[in-house]
Amino acid sequence: MSTTITATAKEAATRDGYGNALIKLGSSDPNVVVLDAGVSDSTRTNKFAEKFPERFFNMGISEGDMVCTAAGLAKCGKTAFATSFICFLLGRSMDQILVSVAYSDSNVKIVGTHAGVAIGEDGPTAQAIGDVSYMRAVPNFIVICPADAVEAEKAIMEIAKRKGPAYVRLGRGNVRTIYDDSYKFEIGKASVVAEGNDAAIIASGIMVQESLAAAEVLKKEGINVKVFNMSTIKPIDRQAIIAAAETGTVVTAEDHNIYGGLGSAVAEVLAEEKLDVKFERIGVKDRFAESDSQKVLFRKYGLDAEAIAATVKKAVTEKK
């Protein structure tokens, strides 16, 4: 578990980090292949397609076929990345993911973009809020939700080294760049992105930037919060959760349903370790959102920095 100081205020989407990683992998490993379900411009796999057209497969609107093809390529010694919007990728191919990838322990990386209500205007049928719970429950899969484009790139590079299935959850919109190129991503390890001892926020994905902003708000009120980026949700970093519990107050933050995702994973560890802490979950509270901007939806559904700060302040007060 490492502490990393924010290096830059630049912004980029995590899907951009994915596109950059694919170029690097394609250049260094001729066995890397990429498949996409007709949305390569949006998923950024078009970067790989332009440079390595003979190793790129546009499968069209045929997600189940794409996953099975990826599994077949993996059995031939390839490292296969199968990509689409999460709502389509998981919604239309869970049987193939379960049997052809997970049960067969295939070297297939399932990479979904456009996560959560953060995609805004695309509306509730495209706002993937249950995907982490799906994939946490599938044997053999690791589950990763990077906080920024730098971490996304490094996470993709790492899972390419590891044989077997992986699921990576990426966003559409730009997020604050938290890390610089010196950052070392480790599967199953959280990182501390802000220090404090009054409470701890454990966040993933876009919610890391919101949690950092909340920590700044709380600092002005005399509450110092430790912020963890829990980018690997499975396997979860148990030691990081135990460290967070030492503050006495733990709040999880995710752009996902509060059931089955990061909050549930952290709650499981707290219960199993019999840790006596004040615990709160921030996320989508088991409902569908509507079409609107990310800013409006985050405010309405209690996902923005102000809502996180209010939840932490209330929890700290109640704990005292």
Positions marked catalytic: 63
**Do 232 and 187 meet the contact criterion of CB atoms below 8 Å apart?**
yes
Question: Would you list the DSSP string of the chain?
Answer: -EE-------EE-HHHHHHHHHHHHHHH-TTEEEEESS-HHHHTTHHHHHH-GGGEEE--S-HHHHHHHHHHHHHTT-EEEEEEEHHHHTTTTHHHIIIIIIITT--EEEEEESBSGGGGGG-TTT-B-SHHHHHHTSTT-EEE--SSHHHHHHHHHHHHHS-S-EEEE--SS-EE----TT----TT--EEEE--SSEEEEE-TTHHHHHHHHHHHHHTTT--EEEEE--EEES--HHHHHHHHTTSEEEEEEEEESSSSHHHHHHHHHHHTT---EEEEEEE-SS---SS-HHHHHHHTT-SHHHHHHHHHHHHHHH-
The residues, any chain, with a CB within 8 Å of residue 250's CB and separated by 6 or more, are 199, 200, 202, 241, 244, 266, 270, 277, 278, 279, 280
CA dist 227 and 192 (Å) reads 6
